[in-house]
Amino acid sequence: MIRHLFKLIWNQKKSNFLLITEIFFSFLVLFAVLSFILYNYHNYTQPLGFKYDKVWQLWLSPNTDSAAHNIAVQQQMIQRVRSFPEVEHASFSNSNTPFAFSQMNAGMSYKSKKDVFSEVFDVQDDYKNVMGIEVSRGRWFGPQDNGSLHDPIVINKKLQEELFGDEDPIGKLIPIDDSTQYAVIGVVDHYRSYSEFDPEKAAYFHRINLEKDKNSIWNGLVIKVKPGAGVAFEEKMVRELSRISKDWTIEVTTQEKMRQSKAKVTTVPMIAMSLVCGFLIINVALGLFGVLWYNINRRYAEIGLRRAIGASSKQIRNQFVGEVLVIATFGLLLGLLLAAQFPLLNVFQLSSVIYWESIGAAAFLIFLLAIVCAIYPSRQASKIFPAVALHEE
């Protein structure tokens, strides 16, 4: 039976070659789209390490160059924000707060580990309470760090693994320059702030000390508001802060809005790629359906003769489904030769699991498509009566 199928396919090699080519390119497109989708899905299912519910973001921008004046203003602003009964916690930070289109990075070294790339987050003591961050080892920043000889930092587990390996990081000193060393005081398990679809990267939190940092202006202010705080409170807060900082620009948004905006950066391309892929798959399905229907009409006498010599309806149906599956297999084998290079060569540094899952899912969809396209024409072929077919011939 297999030899017979190959012979039939070879006799129609021109039309079948075009189908094999279409299936080959369809498999590659499916593989690429599924790899992208599965990569983002795997990242999406990982914990963020913080909570963004009821968290507001204030963007602060001074319009004067007086450093002393601006520092005094930001100290008054944080005190006023914390005094509002609607506010539970508040913390200054840099512009790279969760879901912001901003990143800060630095290289770190420890013993033999050189230039480990890490994200940097400058935050106040209350940032942990604002974002609901859980410290798994050690502790978070506190007033006891005011007199610390070395700048305290809290690192995530990813940085711990890349910088310290199996060593206990608590209490370790990390040289930054000739006069500065960071002291690790705590570890958080996870912290993915750039996007829900972004992989976790090495990161650490550096403490903001308004009394010590006399030359720094922090343009990010995150606040945790109580349930029920809405537009009325937002207007009151901006009005009060504008009185303190008459020459500052103040913008207010929520972490939820920022999350939705950042998610569109990933979901919109995924939808666009899926639509293009779907259009290609529809064309392949129409091609398979059309070729199979044409073959049935052209081979009417052959089908009638087979039925006359004893072939059952099931055998006729299985023959045409088998031809389509063999054609699909040829296209898939060519695609697999190329797609298998991605996990083997670690292309784009993605997990090999994602590549193999994408290969399996793409192959399954191609075979499913082939079977669906072959069902109706093959059933029509199986209903051909020998007498009618031979009489027409």
Q: pLDDT tens digits for 338-366? A: 999 999 888 888 889 999 999 999 999 99
Same domain, 321 and 376: yes
Let me know whether 110 and 222 are in one domain.
yes
Question: 318 is in which domain, residue-wise?
Answer: 2-45+265-392
Most confident among 12-16, 21-25, 135-139, 244-248 (mean pLDDT): 135-139
Same domain, 33 and 68: no
In a domain, 115, yes or no: yes
203 and 313 in one domain?
no
Does residue 197 contact residue 263 with C-beta atoms inside 8 Å? yes
pLDDT band at 210 (very low <50, low <70, confident <90, very high): confident
256 is a domain residue: no
| Cα separations in angstroms, 284 against 21, 138, 322, 366 | 10, 58, 17, 10
Kindly state the tokens that stand for 155.
């690192």
State whether 165 and 314 are in the same domain.
no
Q: What percent of the chain has pLDDT over 70?
A: 85
pLDDT over 90 at 18, yes or no: no
Whether 165 is in a domain gets the answer yes
Same-domain check for residues 277 and 319: yes
Is a pLDDT exceeding 90 seen at residue 259? yes
pLDDT above 60 (res 100): yes
128, 12: one domain: no
Model pTM score = 0.84
Greater confidence, 146 or 205?
A: 205
Q: Which two tokens stand for residue 157?
A: 């587990």
192, 46 Cβ separation under 8 angstroms: yes
Q: Would 254 be classed as within a structural domain?
A: no
DSSP 3-state percent helix, strand, coil across the chain (nearest 5)? 55, 20, 25
Given its phi and psi angles, is residue 336 left (phi above 0), alpha (psi -120 to 50 degrees) or beta? alpha
Query: Quick one: average pLDDT of 326-345?
Result: 89
User: Which residues on adjacent β-strands are paired with residue 184?
Assistant: 153
Are 25 and 81 within one domain?
no
Average pLDDT, the chain: 85
The one-letter code for the residue type at 221 is L
Question: With left for phi above 0 and alpha for psi between -120 and 50, is residue 165 left, alpha or beta?
Answer: left
Q: Are residues 216 and 72 in the same domain?
A: yes
Q: Is the pLDDT of residue 381 over 80?
A: no
pLDDT at position 358 is 94
Q: What percent of the chain has pLDDT over 90?
A: 54
Q: Is the pLDDT of residue 51 over 90?
A: yes
Q: Where are the alpha helices (DSSP H) in 122-211?
A: 127-131, 157-163
State how many domains the chain has.
Answer: 2
Same domain, 149 and 235: yes
Domain assignment present for 258: no
pLDDT band at 114 (very low <50, low <70, confident <90, very high): confident
Q: Which residue has the higher pLDDT, 3 or 259?
A: 259
Within a domain: 38: yes
pLDDT digits (tens, 9 = 90+) for 293-311: 776 666 655 666 666 666 6
Collect all residues with Cβ–Cβ distance below 8 Å to 141 and sequence separation of at least 6: 123, 124, 125, 128, 152, 154, 185, 205, 207
End-of-domain residue from the set 246, 280, 304: 246
* Last residue within a domain, chosen from 215, 246, 277: 246
